[in-house]
Amino acid sequence: MLKDLLSGSDPAAPIAGEGSAAHPAIESEAEVRSEREARERVCELCRHLYTLGWASGTGGGFSLREGHRIFVAPSGVPKESIRPEEVFIADLQGQVLSAGHGRISACTPLFLHAYHLRGAGAVLHSHSLNACLASLVCAQRHGDGYVFRIRGLEMVKGLQGGHVDEPYDIPIIDNMPYEHELADSLEQAMLAFPRSNAVLVRGHGVYIWGRDWVHTKSQAECYDYLFAASVRLREHGIDASVLGRSHPRTP
Amino acid sequence: MLKDLLSGSDPAAPIAGEGSAAHPAIESEAEVRSEREARERVCELCRHLYTLGWASGTGGGFSLREGHRIFVAPSGVPKESIRPEEVFIADLQGQVLSAGHGRISACTPLFLHAYHLRGAGAVLHSHSLNACLASLVCAQRHGDGYVFRIRGLEMVKGLQGGHVDEPYDIPIIDNMPYEHELADSLEQAMLAFPRSNAVLVRGHGVYIWGRDWVHTKSQAECYDYLFAASVRLREHGIDASVLGRSHPRTP
Amino acid sequence: MLKDLLSGSDPAAPIAGEGSAAHPAIESEAEVRSEREARERVCELCRHLYTLGWASGTGGGFSLREGHRIFVAPSGVPKESIRPEEVFIADLQGQVLSAGHGRISACTPLFLHAYHLRGAGAVLHSHSLNACLASLVCAQRHGDGYVFRIRGLEMVKGLQGGHVDEPYDIPIIDNMPYEHELADSLEQAMLAFPRSNAVLVRGHGVYIWGRDWVHTKSQAECYDYLFAASVRLREHGIDASVLGRSHPRTP
Amino acid sequence: MLKDLLSGSDPAAPIAGEGSAAHPAIESEAEVRSEREARERVCELCRHLYTLGWASGTGGGFSLREGHRIFVAPSGVPKESIRPEEVFIADLQGQVLSAGHGRISACTPLFLHAYHLRGAGAVLHSHSLNACLASLVCAQRHGDGYVFRIRGLEMVKGLQGGHVDEPYDIPIIDNMPYEHELADSLEQAMLAFPRSNAVLVRGHGVYIWGRDWVHTKSQAECYDYLFAASVRLREHGIDASVLGRSHPRTP
């Protein structure tokens, strides 16, 4: 699957096929500094995920891309205390270039889909309770599958391509026993919902990506707010998938 | 609209019409320090908004006034990491005197209404989930529009002009596709509800102002508490718009 | 009322009547240090109240007693940023011995009741949303008034004199337009409920006291947990006033 | 009971019977450092418990094991401000080797069960509101007692031996007037539910253990998330004990 992607023709995949001969033996000072900063950024974002409650119990994950390399958090460790030297570096095929602590995140194949299919600059995986609840409480039938649909809340405008008057759909894929088994259905969801920068995993959490780490973080905060709002509104009998700008409780 | 305001006769607009010839070429040391402090204050308040969850995903905003100048946070950036030099300075017509980072907050026309119509010393725009939920869950018909009405909770006394035995109304205006499009209906709401220091925007958030930044912050905390309380009480079948001091669940 | 207390015969009032001739002109170094520490403690506790969300919008308050003097936070200021020199010192009749910033807390007459009637070493006033909600959602008729009754939760054991198998009653008094107007009904509640270290004020918050500031803080955390738990359980149809140790949802 | 354990034949009790002659008079520098680090770790974890809201009002507790010694927090003190020298050291029979502040945690007999019966390297006792609510709201009949059953949520995979497609049961024991009275029923629950690393105490909280402090902390975060999720889902009419990976609200 991943191999296919690299020779794929998806217009949204600007970096596909350029992953070769990109690792010179000698690095400039600027490259050394840039790598150190990327490692520190991964640690900082992982701490932030933990603080927000999105990475409790070693869950969650984060990765960013610099040119032909991706920086990825290690797997199965407390995300709030990762050190820069524990971060993995891999190429765009997921081949580890520089080993970190233990194993590379099990989310790596999923992160790669965001890099290849959507030209992402950073991707995060959140175990936010809001995302988990929304995937169960607010799931709506859509074709063969399910979506989380939201409409009429200002925060939709914070999403790339979001408009307050239009319904915005986030696909919900089934959960699987192992994280890497999600890769194929996540790929299909990304292709089927090209407007969404997020894919929910039922009873599990969400994958969210953006142009770079700043954009990814802000997208993630908007999505999480919408998950929380939609679940809370449902406690009051309000369906946030059909809200308009101007009508309140009842139209 | 804004031009009209400056020549307006509203008694609550002490600063209208005094916005000229106010920018001498040479600044005293005290002026330099005062400007630096104002810039730092804007950054500090924006961090606070973010910490409270009122500015997630680059949302929210803050502005304060010093004499004939207003200091405004930039637009579309993470509010928790603004630096002093990124803050905009504008005059009371919204003309930028000193550019900050990127674009000036899209809330600026709305902030100016609070300065002109209500003599505010500071204004904030919060995307608090409590405000968003309250605007949908607790909206009550009032004339042609809607209000959030609250009564009988101590925190009403924390609002300027609030009394625990009287209903306190906060207008709710419809949301719009673009922030600046809210300016006219916000103006009308401010004129129609001269007692309220806040205007809710449906499914969006709230604008809150006060005499200065300390007062604005404390007003905002009181309003947010009341939004949260009202929504929570409704989950228990209690309507917080008709509470009295002495009767419990049922009168 | 307060004057009466000082000559009262309540056995729980160890300090009544000893408030005279207690302010020598010359203070020892130890006294200077002790006063500074008490001032700092008040500030620290007020910051803690704010962090817990119990003192938003200049609400809440805190006082502690050292011998014949009480230290009291100022009124109507943000509680998270009080400085030691802004703290008031008063005697046990409430007479200010050393002025702080602005006015002394409007809670002072209520704090004095806890000192005199209950021999408290510290008292706090919290605007916790949990306390406010519990006073409305969980109020039960009791004689002419109302109580918050809790039973069967471990945290009851954290309350002075609390037992997990016995109902524990916290009186709820009506709110009043001005804080000092609460003094008489708070006094009556303290006398009528000698086991409780707390008095709830309907739609307002709670007064909590203890032997010293450590005890007061821990009592307050236990009470607040019980308020939160009781409100949450009611959302699930569980009445926390009749819980037993061994029966679950249904007996 | 504890004496029995030490000569017991439970295969999961790797350390039973090795608790003698283990306290040499002279300690090496490494031992001194190791002891200091263990004391600091206990304090750090207790602060973390408090921050998470799991140890309010002097509640909660934490212990870790180093060889034949266990380090235990003191009883009845604010857990967020314990100092290293206040931590107790005891042997595996619970005999205090080095006294700390006041009394050793009343949880000590319960901690010892986790060390002896389950080979734990660390144990914590949380008063988390989520655990308390889950023990009441989500209790299911199971034989003579009750369990909290969870299924189909990703976070189950974070539990030792957890599988997303299988129900995972956590025993719920009745609460008792005194903490040490829980020891026997906790022992029985540990023996009856060898897969669970946690025992809930009804209306009280939860005991959770793991291989070491890192594992214990991560297990505790997973359990707490599941308690919170299950209670929240029930507010929406969703029973989290029968969730599947692929079916949403209704199967």
What pLDDT does residue A12 have? 40
Question: Is A79 buried (19+), middle (13-18) or exposed (0-12) by CB count in 10 A?
Answer: buried
Closest CA to B97 of B160, B166, B18, B22: B22
Higher per-residue pLDDT: A10 or D194:
D194
How much is the average pLDDT of D33-49? 97
Is D172 within 8 Å of C225 when comparing Cβ atoms?
no
Percentage of chain C modeled with pLDDT above 90? 83
* Model confidence at C84: pLDDT above 80: yes
Mean pLDDT (chain D) is 89
* Average of per-residue pLDDT across A106-119: 97
The active-site residue out of A18, A27, A85, A154 is A154
Contacts of C57 in chain B (CB under 8 A): 155, 158, 218-222, 225
A109 pLDDT above the threshold of 50: yes
Residues of chain B with a CB closer than 8 angstroms to some CB in chain C: 152-155, 157-158, 163-165, 214, 217-222, 224-225, 228-229, 232-233, 235-236, 238, 243, 245-246, 248-249
Question: What tens digit of pLDDT does each residue of B59-117 get?
Answer: 999 999 999 999 999 999 999 999 999 999 999 999 999 999 999 999 999 999 999 99
How many B/C residue pairs have CB atoms within 8 Å?
82
C-alpha distances (whole Å) from C2 to each of A4, B122, C187 are 84, 42, 9
Query: Residue range D217-230: average pLDDT?
Result: 98
Tokens 């992160």 belong to A111
Give the model's confidence band at B21: pLDDT under 50 very low, under 70 low, under 90 confident, else very high: very low
Average pLDDT over all residues of chain C: 89
- Using 50, 70 and 90 to split pLDDT, how confident is the model at C119? very high
All residues at 6 or more sequence positions from D95 whose CB lies less than 8 Å from its CB, including other chains: none
User: Band of the pLDDT at C247, cuts 50, 70, 90?
Assistant: low
Residues 6 or more apart whose CB falls under 8 angstroms from that of C89 comprise C35, C69, C70, C71, C72, C96, C97, C98, C100
Does residue D124 carry a pLDDT above 90?
A: yes
Lowest mean pLDDT among A237-241, C17-21, C214-218: C17-21
Report the pLDDT averaged over residues D154-164: 94
ipTM: 0.89
Per-residue confidence (pLDDT) for residue A247, from 0 to 100: 60
Q: Which amino acid is present at D242?
A: V
- What's the pLDDT score for residue C244? 86
D128, D135 Cβ separation under 8 angstroms: no
Q: pLDDT grade, residue C61 (50/70/90)?
A: very high
Alpha-carbon distance A144 to C98, whole Å? 74
| pLDDT surpasses 60 at A48 | yes
Give the model's confidence band at C26: pLDDT under 50 very low, under 70 low, under 90 confident, else very high.
Answer: low
Q: Tell me what percent of the residues of chain D surpass a pLDDT of 90.
A: 83
Residue of D nearest to A58 (CA): D218
Mutation target to probe the A interface, by most A beta carbons within 10 A, among B56, B173, B236 is B56
Let me know the angle formed at the C-alpha of B133 by B136 and A46, rounded to the nearest 5 degrees. Answer: 145
Q: Are the C-beta atoms of B97 and B47 separated by less than 8 Å? A: no
Residues of C with a Cβ under 8 Å from any B Cβ are 56-59, 78, 127, 129, 132-133, 135-137, 139, 146, 172, 174-177, 201-205, 231, 234-235
* Residues found in chain A: 251
Judged by CB atoms closer than 8 Å, whether chains meet at C56 and B219 is answered as no
Interchain contact, B204 vs A243, CB within 8 Å: no
Q: Over 60: is that where the pLDDT of D162 sits? A: yes
Judged by average pLDDT, the poorest of A15-29, A153-167, C70-84, D90-104 is A15-29
Q: What is the DSSP letter of B56?
A: G
Distance, in Å, from the CA atom of B207 to the CA atom of B117, rounded to the nearest integer, reads 14
pLDDT mean across residues, chain B: 89
Catalytic residues of C: 154
Range of lowest pLDDT (A130-134, A242-246, B64-68, D99-103): A242-246
Q: pLDDT tier at A251 (50, 70, 90 boundaries)?
A: very low
Choose between C26 and C212: higher pLDDT.
C212
Q: How high is the pLDDT of residue D27?
A: 74
Of C152, C221, C235, the CB nearest to D203: C152
**C228, C238, C243 ranked by CB distance to D129: nearest:** C228
* DSSP 8-state code for residue B27: -
Give the pLDDT score at D246. 73
Tell me, what's the pLDDT at C245? 76
pLDDT score for B229: 98
pLDDT: is A22 or B146 the higher one?
B146
Angle between helices D29-51 and D213-235 (to 10 degrees): 10
Confidence of residue B133 (pLDDT cuts 50, 70, 90): very high
Q: Write the residue in D57, D137, D201 that is nearest to C236 by C-beta.
A: D137
pLDDT of residue C25: 56
Tokens of B223: 């309003």
Predicted local distance difference test score (pLDDT) of residue B238: 95
Place of tokens 């707490």: D224
Q: What pLDDT shows up at residue B14?
A: 41
pLDDT category of residue D2 using cuts at 50, 70 and 90: very low
Tell whether the model's pLDDT for residue C7 goes beyond 70. no
Given a cut of 90, whether residue A110 has pLDDT beyond it is: yes
pLDDT over 70 (residue A246): yes
Model confidence band, residue A86 (pLDDT cutoffs 50, 70, 90): very high
Q: Name the band, by pLDDT with cuts 50, 70 and 90, for residue D26.
A: low
Average pLDDT along chain A? 89
Domains annotated on chain D, with CATH:
28-235 (3.40.225.10)
Nearest 5°: phi and psi at C48?
A: -60, -45
Nearest CB neighbour to D203, from listed C153, C219, C220? C153
For CA atoms D99, D101, D106, D111, the dihedral sign is negative
State residue B131's pLDDT score.
98
Q: Distance from B169 to chain C by nearest Cα, in Å? A: 18
Is the CB of residue A248 less than 8 Å from the CB of residue B136? Answer: yes
Interface test with B, best of A49, A52, A54, A154 (most B CBs within 10 A): A154
- Residues of chain D with Cβ-Cβ distance to C158 below 8 Å are 57-59
Residues D76-95: what's their mean pLDDT? 96
Q: B198-201 and B168-173: which strand pairing? A: parallel
Chain C residues near residue B218 by CB distance under 8 angstroms: 57-58, 78
The confidence band for A25, taking pLDDT boundaries of 50, 70 and 90, is: low
The 3-class secondary structure across chain A, one letter per residue, is CHHHHHCCCCCCCCCCCCCCCCCCCCCCHHHHHHHHHHHHHHHHHHHHHHHCCCCHHHCCEEEEEECCEEEECECCCCHHHCCHHHCEEEECCCCEEECCCCCECCCHHHHHHHHHHHCCCEEEEECCHHHHHHHHHCEEEECCEEEEEECCCHHHHHCCCCCCCCCEEEEEECCCCCHHHHHHHHHHHHHHCCCCCEEEECCCEEEEEECCHHHHHHHHHHHHHHHHHHHHHHHCCCCCCCCCCCCCCCC
pLDDT at B244: 86
Mean pLDDT computed over C94-98: 97
Residues of C with CB under 8 A from a CB of D: 152-155, 157-158, 163-165, 214, 217-222, 224-225, 228-229, 232-233, 235-236, 238, 243, 245-246, 248-249
Q: Output B36 or C16, whichever has higher pLDDT.
A: B36
Q: Is the pLDDT of residue D191 over 80?
A: yes
Could you give the CA distance from residue B222 to residue B164 in angstroms, rounded to a whole number?
Answer: 13
Strand partners, B91: B69
User: According to the model, what pLDDT value does residue D67 have?
Assistant: 95
* Confidence band, pLDDT 50/70/90 cuts, at residue A13: very low
> HSE on the CB side for C71, CA within 13 Å?
27
Assess whether pLDDT exceeds 50 at residue D250.
Answer: no
Q: Residue D245: what pLDDT?
A: 77
pLDDT, residue A245, reads: 77
Average pLDDT over residues D221-250: 89
Tens of pLDDT, residue by residue over A205-245, are 999 999 999 999 999 999 999 999 999 999 999 999 999 87
Q: Which residue has the tokens 């602060």?
A: D47
pLDDT of residue C18 exceeding 70: no
For residue D205, the chain C residue with the least C-alpha distance is C154
Query: If pLDDT is split at 50, 70 and 90, which confidence band does B17 have?
Result: very low
Provide the shortest C-alpha distance from residue C66 to chain B (in Å).
Answer: 30
Reduced to 3 states (helix: H, G, I; strand: E, B; else coil), residue B234 is: helix
Do residues B212 and B219 make contact, with C-beta atoms less than 8 angstroms apart? no
* B18: pLDDT strictly greater than 90: no
Q: Pick the catalytic residue from B27, B31, B154, B166.
A: B154
Angle CA(A39)–CA(A41)–CA(A47) in degrees, nearest 5? Answer: 110
Q: Do the Cβ atoms of D202 and C249 come within 8 Å? A: no
Q: Which residue of chain A is at minimal alpha-carbon distance from B76?
A: A158
Q: Chain B: residue nearest C138 by CA?
A: B249
Cβ contacts of C146 on chain B, cutoff 8 Å: 248
Question: Which alpha helices (DSSP H) does chain C contain, by range?
Answer: 2-6, 29-51, 108-118, 129-137, 183-192, 213-235
Residue B248 has pLDDT above 60, yes or no: no
Chain D partners within 8 Å of A203 (Cβ) = 152-154, 164, 243, 245
Q: Quick check: A86 and A99 in contact, CB under 8 A?
A: no
